[in-house]
Structure 1
Amino acid sequence: MLTTNELRWFHPGTLPSDILVWFQQNCLINQLQPPEVREDVYLYTPGSDFLGIKLRQGKLEVKWRKAELGIVDFGKLVRGKAETWAKCSCSDSTGEIFQPARVLGNAAWVSVRKVRYLQLYQILPDFSLIPLTNHENINNGCSVEITQLIVQNSPWWSLAFEANGDDVRLMANLQATVNSVFNTYQSVELQAANSYAYPHWLGLIKSPNAQ
């Protein structure tokens, strides 16, 4: 089981080009790194924004929110809701069970196409950051990702941080990474009202009047 402290924002529409350029130039160690393109299928569970279930690349992943940590500010342009999540996954050696084709005929399952750029940082004891060139497992780290989403033929985009590590360092790891990454950010304001995890976002997608 993996426990992470997370910040995430969602916005409707196409990913603004200036934000993508900022991310590529200031976050990615390899600016020519191609994005990951994939399709995840989420189970919509009404009223359960604390639980996320999805099929991803032949695996079933389950995430549940362990704690809401409140609103945090990072300068004048960035304000978000920090949360603690736990995740576990299981796979099928036959490659037959956890396949989108088995569930996409059911309205409770939602297909989300993603084009994602991701950078992983190792966080040293003094909370300085080292960008890594691969997605290796590290004891104290944080990933930052920017993703173009297509759901029900509508575009959205998301910016997110996921910090892992020793329990006593989780929040500090998150804060150190967010502070460092947003040091060069000068684009659209990221507000707490748009800061939530995937289960809440799916609720907005399935029930637009809930916003």
Structure 2
Amino acid sequence: MVKKILKTIVWTIGSLLAFIILYLCSTYILSHISTNKEDNVTADVPIYILTNGVHTDIVVPVKYGQTNWSHEIKFSNTISKDTTATLIAFGWGDKGFYLNTPTWAQLKFSVAFKAATGLSTSAIHATFYKSLTEGPDCHRIWISNSQYARLCSYIQSSFKTDPAGHTINIPTTANYNNNDAFYDAKRRYNLFYTCNTWANNALKAAGQKACIWTPFDKGIFYMYKDQPAK
């Protein structure tokens, strides 16, 4: 009986280690292979990719063409209620991480377990900015009007909506700053579909350079490491 238990423990640990190694190797390889960027398009709209070192946001103009994000992502849902912002950043992620984990030191096992296994729900974190400065953590990308339309459609499709088709604001005191708010989102976070996977897919939707797959921000920014700040 003891041998059988020990054998089971060894097999379990070995399987876990094998999974971790395979996951990390797949992450490294697939995040260093780029998808094709659409060529012969006009540079009409500036967007940004922005990272805090872990999580990637997609940043777009608050108002451009027929799209005015402030109609659904209202300034009044932020603490400041400042209406002078010109940019809005979108980040998709695990709702528990967003609302219950102010710092990594406060991360609970239950939150991490639910996120990794897809047992939790998701949210979109929207942050207003007046301007952004390009650098290692922030890259500007020019895209065409048609690419921007596809990007907007991708972002809009990630929101859960009420019966009237409006976004659902999440009342909370877990704001990161005075200019952000949270909204209910579709899909579930897991090891294979993370906040950075969502952002990477947003770049694909816009016909931009992206990783084949990545769960980490490093893969996305690796694709733009040679792009000079402008």
TM-score bucket (shorter structure): 0.3 to 0.5
Higher strand share: 1
TM, length-normalised to structure 2: 0.31
Larger radius of gyration: 2
Give the helix-richer structure, 1 or 2.
2
